[in-house]
Structure formats: structure tokens, C-alpha cells
Structure 1
Amino acid sequence: MKEILPFHLAIPVQDIEKSKNFYKEVLECSEGRSSSTWVDLNFFGHQLVLHKKENLDKKEENTTNLVDSKNVPIPHFGVVLTISIWKKLAENLKNKEVKFIIDPYIRFEGEAGEQATMFFLDPSGNAIEFKAFQDIANQLFAR
């Protein structure tokens, strides 16, 4: 596997303070630079920027794609974690009473690409997925 470098992702949020608190308190991201209309966060080693966008136009009907008999929200973003960190995060999110779109479970069990996954929304309706593999280097792009 080639060296993995941090990604940068900027997403719209309706309420910068509410969203910042969610990412800092629930997901335990640390804050970097910020202003009254945006904030940089350390999102599991990656740069996530929340940009305030008033009147955020979210569709009433979410777009989904059927994957492993589950309606996966599109678009979504997230990170790949080790299985031990994923399990701790899943337990932490349950303890913080995060409402899951797709509860933590093992997808493609016994098949190439078997993975742990979970989906939930941030306060502005941005869908987030965290996934994990027993062997990231060999399973991430398995066919």
C-alpha cells in the first residue's frame, strides 16, 4: 500500500456552533483554525472544514443506493479505521445516543471486502460512514 496522506474535505453546515460541538464532543475531533463562518477540524488525521451555509437546501427525500440490503445514503463521507478503533467508536457513539441510519454491523460477511460499517448524520444532515477491515491493506480494494 502506498503512503496514505491526509485528505481535505469541506462541507456545508447550517449552524456552525452546533456542528462544531457535534464534531468535537461526539466524534472527538480537535479544532484548528476558524472564523465565524468556518472551522478546520482534525477528522481522524484528515482536514475537515465546516462552512456555514444558511438556508442549506437539503432534499426532502434522501438519495440512497442499495448495498448489502441496506439503503446507503448518497453522498456520504468518512474514514477507514482499524477494527479495534472502529469497535471503540461504535460503542462510544451508542453511549452518546447517536441515531444511526445504518447500525454498526459486518457487511459482505465471509466475502472479499468483508468490512465493519456504520452510518449516521451530523446536525446538518451530512451522512458519515465509518468502516473497518481486519486487514486494510488486502481488503480495502478486494474484488
Structure 2
Amino acid sequence: MSLQPFHLAIPVYDVALARGFYRDIFGLEEGRSDEKWVDFNFFGHQLVIHYHPKTPSQQQAETNPVDGHDVPVPHFGVVLTWEQWHQLAERLKQQGTQFVIEPYIRFKGQVGEQATMFFLDPCGNALEFKAFKDLSQLFAK
């Protein structure tokens, strides 16, 4: 199966701060931009940051319990390879990232076992990055 890139536009209340985060933390390549928005190549997908006043979820995220952790809602991210995930986790730790949920193995020894981590961008948008040793577990019940 061949996947098409997704397009996701997210609100940011400080375009310059968010631009620096996505460019410098992830090393994302910028595409088109204007004063109030910037396109990024987000691991092969199109992520656009758009200026918008602070949203309620950026001020105080709601959470749902998953595997003993409070997962922020809403959130977004990418399923990386096992190696990419570990490299990103290490880079984020070295840069002093404050995690909402520290990198760990969720559902250890169970169906759907995965590596996951959560953190916020500087405008309060929650991101999750995950990886599976066995990608067939992505939708396993």
C-alpha cells in the first residue's frame, strides 16, 4: 500500500517562535510562506503553521488516560521507524525538551506495543511521535 502525504494546518499564536521550533528542533525544510503562515515538509507530509490567537486547547489541554499516562487531546504526530524514533528522542533530550510524557514503551508485551513520547510546541500544540518494532501492530486489536 502506498500512502499519500497528509496536509495538516495548525494554529500558532507566534509564527516566528513556532517557525524556529519546527525548523530548528526537527530540521524541517520550509516550503512556501507568508507573514501569517509557513509550510513545512513534516517527515514527507505537509504541515502548515497558521497565525491564530491562542486556542483553549493551547492554554490547557484536556487529557485522556492511556496506559497509565494522561495523554493530551488534541495531538498529532508521525509514526516513525524504530531507529528514527530513538534518534529523535535522543535529540530532544539533548536539547532539553520538556516532555508531557517522557519517551517510553507503551503496552509493553501486549498487542500494539509501541514507543511513544509527547511534548508541546512553543504555542501549546501537543505532538506525539511513535514507532513500532512490528508495523503490523499499528491497527492491531
TM over 0.5: yes
In structure 2, distance between residues paired with 1:61 and 1:141: 29
Tell me which residue corresponds to 2:139: 141
Tell me which residue corresponds to 2:19: 20
How many residue pairs get aligned? The number is 140
Q: State the shift of 1:42 in Å.
A: 0.6
Tell me which residue corresponds to 2:37: 38
Aligned to 2:46, what secondary structure does the other structure show? strand
In structure 1, distance between residues paired with 2:113 and 2:94: 25
Tell me which residue corresponds to 2:106: 107
Percent identity between the two aligned chains: 56
Please tell me the residue identity of whatever aligns with 1:140: L
Instruction: Tell me the TM-score normalised to structure 1 length.
Output: 0.95
Tell me which residue corresponds to 1:72: 71
CA-to-aligned-CA distance 1:29-67 (integer Å, 9 cap, x gap): 1100000000000111110000011x3133554210000
Tell me which residue corresponds to 1:88: 87
Q: Which runs of 4+ in 1 moved over 4 A?
A: none
Instruction: Tell me the TM-score normalised to structure 2 length.
Output: 0.96
Q: State the shift of 1:77 in Å.
A: 0.2
In structure 2, distance between residues paired with 1:84 and 1:29: 18
Please tell me the residue identity of whatever aligns with 1:13: V
In structure 2, distance between residues paired with 1:95 and 1:130: 17
Aligned to 2:117, what secondary structure does the other structure show? strand
Please tell me the residue identity of whatever aligns with 2:83: S
Consecutive unaligned residues in structure 2, runs of 5 or more: none
Give the conservation status (yes or no) of the 8 Å contact 2:61–2:74.
no
Aligned to 1:20, what secondary structure does the other structure show? helix
1:122 aligns with 2:121: yes
Aligned to 2:54, what secondary structure does the other structure show? coil
In structure 2, distance between residues paired with 1:70 and 1:85: 23
In structure 1, distance between residues paired with 2:60 and 2:43: 30
Let me know the Cα RMSD of the aligned residues: 0.9
Please tell me the residue identity of whatever aligns with 1:77: F
